[in-house]
């Protein structure tokens, strides 16, 4: 007896088309993708695709919204909202470490790889996907970093006339994004000759020193974070074997 195939509801079919189309757009970009390719990837007719999405642009916008919602939902479930933390030097260190370790601390999952590929494709074309992706959590994170930098300046932990507070979060964000781009092919394009945990440590210290925090200030707040989380201490907050201090930073750059 032939088994009956369960028919998808309208909302389920819509979501299935979105999931299939993500990979096509990530591989070929918006302008390089045809409606026929989208239909073939979803296993449906072009007419059915257009029944749910009146145009390729509408499907693309639906993918943007879906990806951003899913990413924010996962991140909100994984950790308490950073917006609830007080603006301080301590929070500044937490934000930098949390961002760097979350992105660089482990191999990106396939969903994340597709998300980052869509961002790169968007940057090379119309920019809509990247623009929408930055409107959510990244902008809020950068704003929180700015508040913390200004609080650290008031506390005397940062010089008043250092890096502009409104730029600090974006500088860290763009630095980490550079690593992601070099990891997207699956096999890293650059051999850093460091375990991933040590790489995270180096990037965290590089960012915090670049912001303007002194070594003793960084150590003090990292020690406080370790002591405050005795059940699951953040190992990647440990001081690197070779600190990115002014001496070894300048020598590494040939100065």
Q: How confident is the model at residue 235 (pLDDT cuts 50, 70, 90)?
A: very low
**219 & 110 share domain:** yes
**20 & 108 share domain:** no
Q: Is the pLDDT of residue 244 over 70?
A: no
Label residue 198 exposed, middle or buried (CB < 10 Å: 0-12, 13-18, 19+). Answer: middle
Comparing 148 with 2, the larger pLDDT belongs to 148
What are the start-end ranges of the H helices in the chain? 10-28, 35-42, 46-52, 56-78, 89-104, 110-124, 128-134, 137-155, 165-183, 196-211, 215-228, 246-252
Comparing 155 with 84, the larger pLDDT belongs to 155
**Calpha distance 171→142 (Å, rounded):** 9
Q: Average pLDDT of the chain?
A: 78
**Calpha distance 97→204 (Å, rounded):** 6
pLDDT score at 228: 57
Read off the tokens for 140: 């809020």
CATH classification at residue 59: 1.10.10.60
For residue 3, being part of any structural domain is answered with no
**136 & 17 share domain:** no
Residue 13 DSSP SS3: helix
pTM of the model: 0.70
Whether 220 contacts 227, CB under 8 Å? no
**13 & 130 share domain:** no
Count the domains in the chain.
2
Q: Is the pLDDT of residue 2 over 50?
A: no
For residue 1, being part of any structural domain is answered with no
User: What is the residue range of 27's domain?
Assistant: 8-78
**68 & 93 share domain:** no
pLDDT score at 171: 96
Q: Is the pLDDT of residue 92 over 90?
A: yes
Residues 93-117: tens digit of each pLDDT: 999 998 998 888 887 777 777 778 8
For residue 125, being part of any structural domain is answered with yes
Choosing from 52, 78, 104, the residue where a domain stops is 78
**217 & 117 share domain:** yes
Q: What is the mean pLDDT of residues 174-193?
A: 82
Choosing from 27, 55, 78, the residue where a domain stops is 78
């Amino acid at each position: 007896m032939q088994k009956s195939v369960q028919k998808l509801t309208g909302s389920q079919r819509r979501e299935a088309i979105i999931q299939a189309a993500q990979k096509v757009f990530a591989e070929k970009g918006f302008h390089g993708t045809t409606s026929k390719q989208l239909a073939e990837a979803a296993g449906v007719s072009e007419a059915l695709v257009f029944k749910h999405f009146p145009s390729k642009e509408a499907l693309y916008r639906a993918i943007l919204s879906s990806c951003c919602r899913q990413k924010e939902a996962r991140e909100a479930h994984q950790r308490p909202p950073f917006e609830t933390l007080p603006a301080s030097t301590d929070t500044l260190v937490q934000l930098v470490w949390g961002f760097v370790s979350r992105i660089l601390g482990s191999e990106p999952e396939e969903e994340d790889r597709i998300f980052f590929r869509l961002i790169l494709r968007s940057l090379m074309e119309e920019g809509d996907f990247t623009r929408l992706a930055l409107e959510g959590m990244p902008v809020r994170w950068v704003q929180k970093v700015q508040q913390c930098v200004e609080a650290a300046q008031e506390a005397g932990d940062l010089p008043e006339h250092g890096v502009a507070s409104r730029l600090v979060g974006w500088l860290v964000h763009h630095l980490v994004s550079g690593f992601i781009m070099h990891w997207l092919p699956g096999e890293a394009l650059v051999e850093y000759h460091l375990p991933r945990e040590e790489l995270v440590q180096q990037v965290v210290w590089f960012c915090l020193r670049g912001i303007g925090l002194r070594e003793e200030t960084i150590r003090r707040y990292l020690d406080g974070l370790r002591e405050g989380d005795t059940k699951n201490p953040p190992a990647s907050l440990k001081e690197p074997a070779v600190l990115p201090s002014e001496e070894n930073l300048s020598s590494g750059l040939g100065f």
